[in-house]
């Protein structure tokens, strides 16, 4: 098993500093000592090293009332561009960030989910990247790296592979991807990308252990333990969406029965509504995003819609029950909710789901755990995978020692 | 969050060496270099330090055919005694080990589970320890330390406490326990003790991540990730026995519905038999250990007993389904089964439960995971908690830096 070295310890301290800088926006060495708890000598050494490497930039020098002027600094946004690319079943989205992780621009392209030929998927990714770079007038040399989130990325004894139902990529396809995109690449799966955003930009700044739960068409959890993303033996830890809510229950799109996703994924929520009221006007809305917004609206409307309200109540009950399982096994400090079901319906789900989660968690784990809506907005998969690309540039520069699973 | 230091790294290397010595029984410096992958310099330094501290003892010097004689060494069994104490609902067992972790002797005392008064429980523990020491003619000075496994040990912001239904111990009771036993004490909960035995003496020697599942009256899992026991925010990670198998299903003794334990804990298995054949002769056997042995016998008997066979088949189905949830969330390299249901029925459960677990695990995590019966025999709670006491003596000696949750 991999053992940690003294370089890892220095890397951990540097991560604490970068966390604090990203959190504060602009900060000083004195503030960093307070917020990180690191020794003055460590903070000074690390900050100087990061300024030397152009990762941090001094923005101004504030002359305090007494003593020497104080240097104020933040992430150096001008070091280059970073791309975060989310390859989903029905679209490819590429977002450009600066090196302070501010979003600059994005391009999205619809994808026919029935087209499974790797060459075609690679070409779509390549075209989206080309278009984004062109529209921003940025050449490839101006991009430090790109992160690509691919569904189903796993680790096998023979190496990394991308395995999703009906498409399977190995080194040949990954080589083709690297050549077509023409940028330093990292790839990871969406749950790992998403929780990495929470780790760097959300609750990971203050909690030692956390789970981030994505609610959308599919559902899943990313897990961080003592500051590190839990990957598992095949990089597939966190597949809580396909753990059991109900043995032999509803058929899930993964082919098994009774998975959490079959109840709280968007099609599962619509299934609940159809069980309650088969002829409800929302029962046959085709677009999932429309369905969720309309449901959120109907459940809160002043015109009573009992079926919509009961659907939301049952969804919260299922969600809270399933979250209690995550608490039972992993016992995290905090669970955050993210994804587009959360943005549409999270306000209505949060309080009843929290109550159910706490009452169903064994022992006192429930009383100790927080349930919150993630403060990381936008598409956390894109942000998280871009953060991994940025982290990789810091590993390449010899600054961090994070193990990044696939670097192409 | 706790950060690791260079002392931790040295401690990790020492744990690798101790693992290898415990595994081999007797070994040489050259063998250790091969089995640990550590550098010759590191192995020599660590072995000398451990011999110096009397943790290892040179047993003989073998004169090879060429070159210098080779020193052979193993754990020093004569350093003292270690006690492992399992406080269960219906009994207290204390086992004496030597410092090579060989079992010397044990004493067990029945306990009335309705007596919840702390003074009485403390006194029972004290009496069992007194009796064991007396029967072996060992005085307290000859004991390096004792580990006590207490159900329900948790971590709270205000410190450690023991919280089980109807009894709650805090510092007052823990002080009384330390005074009555009169030995350096560590306490931990049974799942953490059990997986610690697997970590040191079983699959933890070769697997980076593992889960050990205890099957008895209650069921639960201990989890080891990258060599460290997963404790969670309140030391209650691994409560997989109280995660859901079936939403709103059978009533569990924890008061919730549908927990895994309600199906594969011994009373749950008997419940399954009663559902299938209410008047079956085993349906009303009162002693749980009798029930499990008789069921194992009936299901394998040449006289057909369909209800017994179907009960075992359903138990394997439930077990495999619930194990798949553990694989989905944690994605370990290996899962081992332990506990007295395993010793009685494990041979019949293993193969169908493995098949179900693999088919129900998401992605390829199922194909990658092993399911095995633990090679750590006897009472793994007692062995594991004794191992924590031994580890604590190495921490006290400045050799290891393992964080041991409660040291009294
Ligand atoms: Zn599923
Ligand atoms: Zn339960």
What pLDDT does A67 receive? 66
Residues 116-155 of B with CB under 8 A from A: 152, 154
pLDDT at B1: 40
**Interface touch B362/A326, C-beta < 8 Å:** no
Cross-chain residue pair B247–A245, CB shorter than 8 Å: yes
Q: Could you read off the pLDDT of B101-131 as tens digits, one per residue?
A: 999 999 999 887 777 788 888 999 999 999 9
Which residues in chain A (80-99) have CB-CB distances under 8 A to chain B? none
Residue A401 forms contact with B (CB below 8 Å) = no
Which stretch, A345-354, B2-11, B105-114, B387-396, has highest mean pLDDT? Answer: A345-354
Question: Which of A156, A166, A107, A161 has the alpha carbon at shortest distance from A133?
Answer: A107
Please answer yes or no on whether B209 and A326 come within 8 Å at the CB atom.
Answer: no
Could you say which of A154, A221, A325 has the minimum Cβ distance to residue B364? A154
Q: A183 CA to chain B: closest CA distance, Å?
A: 29
**Tens-digit pLDDT profile for residues B277-336:** 999 999 999 999 899 999 999 999 998 899 999 999 999 999 999 999 999 999 999 999
Please indicate whether, in this complex, the C-beta atoms of B247 and A333 are within 8 angstroms of each other: no
Q: Residue A75: phi, psi to the nearest 5?
A: -60, 140
pLDDT one-digit tens code per residue, B159-168 = 667 766 566 7
pLDDT-flagged residues of chain A (< 50): 1-2
The reply to whether B199 touches chain A by the CB within 8 Å rule is no
pLDDT value for A1 = 39
Reported as a single tens digit per residue, the pLDDT across B28-77 is 999 999 988 889 999 999 999 999 999 999 877 776 666 667 889 999 99
pLDDT band at B345 (very low <50, low <70, confident <90, very high): very high
Q: How far apart are alpha carbons A262 and A135 in whole angstroms?
A: 40
Percent residues over pLDDT 90 in chain B: 65
Secondary structure element (H or E) that encloses residue A94, with its range: strand A91-98
Helix (H, G, I), strand (E, B) or coil at A57: strand
CA of A166 vs chain B CAs: smallest distance (Å): 12
Q: Supply the pLDDT for residue B165.
A: 58
B405 Cβ under 8 Å from any chain A Cβ: no
3-state secondary structure chain B: CCCCCHHHHHHHHHHHHHHHHHHHCEECHHHHHHHHCCCHHHHHHHHHHHHHCCCEEEEEEECCCCCCCEEEEEECHHHCEEEEEEECCCEEEEEEEECCCCEEEEEEEECCCCCCCHHHHHHHHHHHHHHHHHHHCCCHHHEEEEEEECCCEEEECCEEEEEECCEEECHHHHHHHHHHHCCCEEEECHHHHHHHHHHHHCHHHCCCEEEEEEECCCEEEEEEECCEECCCCCCCCCCHHHCECECCCCECCCCCECECHHHHCHHHHHHHHHHHCCCCCCCCCCCHHHHHHHHHHHHHCCCCCHHHHHHHHHHHHHHHHHHHHHHHHHCCCEEEEECHHHHHHHHHHHHHHHHHHHHHCCCCHHHHCEEEECCCCCCHHHHHHHHHHHHHHHHHCCCCCCCCCEEC
Model's pTM, two decimal places?
Answer: 0.91
Closest among A280, A276, A287, A286 to A317, alpha carbons compared: A276
B357-376 residues touching A, CB cutoff 8 A? 360, 362-365, 368-369
The answer to whether B289 contacts chain A (CB < 8 Å) is no
Provide the ipTM. 0.89
Compute the average pLDDT of residues B156-160. 65
Q: Is the dihedral of CA B123, B124, B128, B134 positive or negative?
A: positive
Distance from residue A316's CA to the centre of ligand 1 (Å): 19
Domains of chain A: 6-78 (1.10.10.10), 80-193+380-396 (3.30.420.40), 203-373 (3.30.420.40)
Per-residue pLDDT, A159: 66
For residue B208, the chain A residues in CB contact (below 8 A) are 1-2, 233
pLDDT of residue B123: 93
């Amino acid at each position: 098993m991999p053992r940690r070295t003294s370089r890892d310890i220095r890397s951990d301290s540097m991560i604490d500093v970068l966390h604090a800088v990203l959190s504060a926006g602009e900060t000083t060495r004195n503030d960093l000592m307070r917020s990180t708890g690191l020794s003055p000598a460590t903070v000074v050494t690390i900050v100087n090293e990061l300024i030397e490497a152009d990762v941090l930039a001094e923005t101004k020098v504030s002359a305090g009332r007494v003593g020497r002027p104080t240097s104020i600094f933040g992430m150096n946004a001008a070091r280059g561009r970073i791309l975060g690319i989310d390859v989903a079943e029905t679209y490819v989205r590429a977002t450009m960030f600066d090196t302070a992780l501010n979003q600059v621009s994005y391009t999205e392209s619809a994808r026919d989910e029935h087209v499974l030929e790797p060459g075609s998927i690679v070409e779509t990714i390549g075209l989206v990247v080309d278009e984004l770079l062109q529209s921003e007038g940025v050449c490839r040399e101006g991009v430090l790296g790109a992160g690509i989130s691919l569904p189903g990325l796993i680790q096998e004894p023979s190496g990394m592979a991308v395995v999703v139902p009906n498409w399977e990529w190995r080194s040949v396809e990954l080589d083709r991807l690297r050549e077509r995109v023409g940028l330093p690449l990292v790839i990871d799966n969406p749950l790992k990308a998403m929780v990495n955003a929470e780790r760097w930009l959300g609750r990971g700044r203050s909690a030692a252990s956390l789970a981030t739960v994505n609610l959308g068409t599919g559902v899943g959890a990313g897990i961080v333990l003592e500051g590190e993303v839990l990957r598992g033996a095949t990089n597939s830890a966190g597949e809580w969406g396909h753990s059991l809510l109900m043995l032999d229950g509803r058929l899930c799109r993964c082919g098994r029965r009774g998975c959490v996703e079959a109840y709280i994924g968007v099609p599962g929520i619509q299934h609940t509504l159809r069980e309650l009221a088969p002829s409800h006007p929302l029962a046959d809305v085709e677009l999932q995003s429309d369905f969720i917004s309309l449901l959120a609206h109907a459940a809160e409307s002043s015109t009573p819609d009992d079926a919509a309200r009961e659907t939301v109540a049952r969804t919260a009950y299922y969600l809270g029950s399933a979250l209690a399982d995550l608490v039972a096994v992993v016992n995290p400090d905090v669970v955050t909710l993210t994804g587009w079901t959360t943005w549409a319906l999270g306000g209505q789900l949060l309080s009843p789901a929290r109550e159910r989660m706490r009452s169903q968690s064994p022992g006192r784990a429930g009383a100790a755990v927080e349930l919150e809506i993630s403060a990381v907005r936008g598409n956390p998969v894109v942000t998280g995978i871009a953060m991994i690309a940025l982290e990789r540039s810091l590993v390449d520069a010899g600054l961090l020692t994070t193990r990044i699973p696939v670097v192409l």
